[in-house]
Amino acid sequence: MLLSLIMGKSTPEEILLSLLLTIPTVLIALSFHEFAHGWAASKLGDPTAKNLGRLTLNPFKHFSLVGSLLMLLVGFGWAKPVPINTRYFKNPKKGMAISAAAGPLMNLLLAFIGVVIYALSMKLFWRHMSAQVFYATALFFTNFCYMNVFFAVFNLLPIPPFDGSRLLFAFLPDKQYFAIMKYENVIMIVVLVGLATGILDLPFEFIAEKILSGMEWLVNLIL
């Protein structure tokens, strides 16, 4: 991620190029993620996101300064959560599960589309690319696919405000769910310490790389 480039031996030109290519990825990943939440909830009868102007792909409607900066620097972060009112759902727990899952699934879809476009561009146009264009293309799609997968995996953490907590609510009895959520602050601190120290990098990266490898295998099989 960008922070590793800054702390490493990368040149200012490499850091600037990575910054210019990563910013669009962050904006796309966050805005599509939150839009997917709102769209799924809307289809299930909840007009809250639409009424608040959050049913949009405009990234500035979903912008969180801290979450976006973290996403840019280290690859994990968050946007401003789209409000969901479960009272509009016929089945609140099922509706919450579907709405929560829509965000990570959207990021996985974006990553898969990125793998397809990258594979096609390399197959059709690599002979006509200069070394600089080839490098920039490879860097953009590598960042784009990896960050979307990593963001999807990260958001499945079962603690607020991440989507995993909403999925947990959908599948656990209320008593057990609220018993766990009593310790949400402690869990959040543990997770942030684990991420800051790199302890959680290995499992997250392992899962993300396995998902990307599966996508690449499928795309290569198709093409």
Q: pLDDT digits over 106-115, tens only? A: 999 999 999 9
DSSP state of 56: S
Residue 157 has pLDDT above 70, yes or no: yes
Q: How confident is the model at residue 75 (pLDDT cuts 50, 70, 90)?
A: low
Query: Using an 8 Å Cβ cutoff, are 111 and 119 in contact?
Result: no
pLDDT of 57 reads: 93
In the block, tokens 């795309």 appear at 219
Which amino acid type is present at position 136? A
pLDDT of 166 reads: 82
Q: pLDDT digits over 5-29, tens only? A: 555 566 777 777 777 888 889 889 9
Residues 6+ apart with CB under 8 A from 148: 25, 29, 107, 108, 110, 111, 114
Task: Tokens for 184, please give them.
Answer: 């949400």
CB count in 10 Å sphere of residue 133: 12
Catalytic hit among 13, 14, 34, 216:
34
At 55, give phi and psi (nearest 5°).
Answer: -85, 65
Q: pLDDT digits over 78-132, tens only? A: 788 899 998 999 998 899 899 999 999 999 999 999 999 999 988 888 778 888 8
Residue 34 known to be catalytic: yes
Question: Residue 77: which of 31, 26, 7 has the closest Cα?
Answer: 26
Which amino acid type is present at position 84? I
DSSP 156-207: TSSSTTSHHHHHHHHHS-HHHHHHHHTTHHHHHHHHHHHHHHTTTHHHHHHH
Burial class (CB in 10 A: 0-12, 13-18, 19+), 117: middle
What mean pLDDT value characterizes the chain? 85
Q: What's this model's pTM, rounded to 2 decimal places? A: 0.86
Q: How confident is the model at residue 3 (pLDDT cuts 50, 70, 90)?
A: low
CB count in 10 Å sphere of residue 12: 8
Residues 6+ apart with CB under 8 A from 106: 32, 33, 35, 36
Cα 142 from Cα 150, distance rounded (Å) = 12
CB count in 10 Å sphere of residue 157: 20
For the chain, how many residues are written? 223
CB count in 10 Å sphere of residue 33: 25
pLDDT of 7 reads: 57
Which secondary structure element, helix H or strand E, spans residue 126, and what is its range? none
